Amino acid sequence: MDFGYDARTLDLRKRLLAFMDERIYPAEAVFAEQVAAAVRQGRPWQRVPITSELKAGARSRGLWNLFLTGKAAAAVRQLDAGSLLDPPLTNLQYAALAELTGWSPALAPEALNCAAPDTGNMEVLAEFGSPEQQERWLRPLLEGTIRSAFCMTEPDVASSDATNIATTVARDGEGYGFAELARRHGDFALAGVVTRVRSSADGDIQEAVVSGFGVSDRPVTRDVTPLVRAAAGSDAVESALRGMTTTLATDVVDTAGDAHGSQAYRRRLFSVLAARELARAYRGSLGAAA
């Protein structure tokens, strides 16, 4: 197999090497100073000004969103073709450029909008996100105006290695039970929402429950059968449930408790997650009953 660089890769490597020499390496000291200042001010996760300047420089040189290849690139093209190279790179071409950004890992990947976890999140949103999710989250990620996160925390399990996931699901009578439950995303907001919906063969909803996790070790569980039954008659079940979960969110979030994040944020988060997961569980229950 030939792993030699083609003409396009050589050109991009030359341009990227020049950007690293002219902009990235000289900015490393400034970056360190700005990060230290943010930490002293109690804002360690704040994006510092120098990264925005470098992003503008990289984009002006055509060194932007280089990581988008294959199916993800094709999906992004339908939303915002201007955010892509034309044509997109192959994985082999991008690998030679990703190696160079690794020479300044704190600055170069983000400057090119090629930093994890944004890269993986953009690919997932591009291929599987709803139009609403793509407009709200994918477009600003492609523009480099926001950052994203990857949260996968479980009791007694660590790291971002998906093979470490310990949560298991097993059939429990007519429904499904979780043997282990994700508790919290770090220490800043309501973490877990678990739902279960059971339907009869004729589509009647027999049971619907939702559980939320906060500071306490035990979930706060509520029967939401009437809500799901009311929403089931709508063409857009998730949207209907979203409008019904405000009071439920206040009850569950305030009961579960949390030491971080505003109550308003946690309530909105729970409302969105509960509506989404209940709608998904409802659709799954219809298939299981059939």
Domain range for residue 238? 165-289
What DSSP string runs through 252-267?
Answer: HHHHH--SSS-HHHHH
Do the domain assignments include residue 1? no
Flag whether 179 is in a domain: yes
**More confident call, 167 vs 78:** 78
| Adjacent-strand bridge partners of 176 | 171
Exposed (0-12), middle (13-18) or buried (19+): which is 249, by Cβ within 10 Å? buried
Reply yes or no on whether the pLDDT at 96 is more than 90.
Answer: yes
Q: Please, are residues 230 and 239 in contact by the beta-carbon 8 Å criterion?
A: no
Residue 155, domain member (yes or no): no
Q: Based on the structure, what is the number of domains in the chain?
A: 2
**Segment holding 129, helix H or strand E:** none
Q: Are residues 134 and 189 in the same domain?
A: no
d(Cα 132, Cα 162) in Å, to the nearest integer?
27
Same domain? For 31 and 135 the reply is yes
Place of tokens 């997932």: 124
For the chain, the straight-line distance linking the first and the last C-alpha, in angstroms and rounded, comes to 50
Answer whether residue 209 is part of any domain.
yes
Judge if 98 and 186 occupy the same domain: no
Q: Give the CATH number of the domain where residue 278 resides.
A: 3.30.390
Mean residue pLDDT across the chain? 80
- Is the per-residue pLDDT at 20 higher than 70? yes
CA–CA distance, 154 with 258 (Å, rounded to integer)? 17
Residue 115: CATH number of its domain: 1.10.540.10
**Rounded average pLDDT over 202-207:** 80
pLDDT band at 1 (very low <50, low <70, confident <90, very high): low
Residue 261: the pLDDT is: 52
The answer as to whether 82 is a domain residue is yes
Residue 14 and residue 139 in one domain:
yes
Task: Give tens-digit pLDDT for 36-59.
Answer: 998 899 888 888 999 999 999 999
